[in-house]
Amino acid sequence: MARRKPGFYSTIEYIGPRPTKPKKRPMIFGGWVIVAIAIGLGFWFGRPLVPLLNADQASVEQAEAISSSLEQSAGTAPRLAAAALRRSLQDIAYDPAYYRIAYPMGDIPPGKGAAADVIIRSLRVIGVDLQADLHEDISANFRHYPQLWNAMSPDKNIDHRRVANLQRFFERNAEVLSTTRDAADYQPGDIVIWSLSNADKHIGIVVPGPGEHMSAPWIVHNIGAGVKWENTLFDYKIEGHFRYPKD
């Protein structure tokens, strides 16, 4: 018997009818028709959601309308909330740097600011100079304030711009409120202090929300991206809840 050459393989004969591929059934609708139907259904059923989505957006018009309403209130807290809301309409670059400023009623450059500056400037709109109030208290009670900056004495340029100092000042001079996670406990004009995940302290002012959220407590604050009007009250651990000045 002759040997097969390497790489030579014999074939196997198939006996029977030639195999055929199954025929595809013709599609009644083309792919573009299905896409068109899907888009149409999405538009039709999505229409009721459009007003709700728009209501969630914090617009300039909503901020101005709510501010105007709050300014008609007799109490200082609603007017403080109105001042904070108007602050959120301004273009403020985040800047926690040290500045030498006047006293009293001193302020850093108007286009700059950090978290505490939202509180300071909003309070001044209703006639309260937090720079002077805190400086007087810290000058008489320096040892009761946090000793975190190696300061040997009070500094009227920066003391009121440090959130830890503001927390101690409000604990001593403001109406101290509960730090619950119940939204009903927070009213427009309340001042809230948080502890962030990096152990820094943050501060903001409670205001009404936009649209259908007007009864919910939103926050005006500056956490690094400028002064914002946001639904962030319970995003961080609340350490302090105050009303200042006391009505």
Counting every residue written for the chain, the total comes to 247
Q: At 65, phi and psi to the nearest 5?
A: -65, -45
- The confidence score (pLDDT) of residue 57 equals 59
Residue 51 or residue 193, greater confidence: 193
pLDDT digits (tens, 9 = 90+) for 77-109: 999 999 999 999 999 999 999 999 999 999 999
Lowest mean pLDDT among 36-45, 62-71, 167-176: 36-45
How far is residue 5's CA from residue 175's CA, in Å, rounded to a whole number? Answer: 101
Burial level of 3, CB count in 10 A (0-12/13-18/19+)? exposed
Please report, in angstroms and rounded to a whole number, the separation of the first and last CA atoms in the chain: 116
Q: Is the pLDDT of residue 13 over 60?
A: no
Where in 196-243 does DSSP place strands (E)?
201-208, 217-221, 228-230, 237-243
Please state which CATH number belongs to domain 59-243.
Answer: 3.90.1720
What is this structure's pTM?
0.78
Residue 2 or residue 195, greater confidence: 195
Q: Is the pLDDT of residue 4 over 90?
A: no
pLDDT digits (tens, 9 = 90+) for 58-75: 799 999 999 999 999 999
Tell me the domain boundaries of the chain. 29-58, 59-243
β-bridge mates for residue 194, sequence order: 202, 238
DSSP state of 23: P
Lowest mean pLDDT among 45-59, 119-133, 207-221, 226-240: 45-59
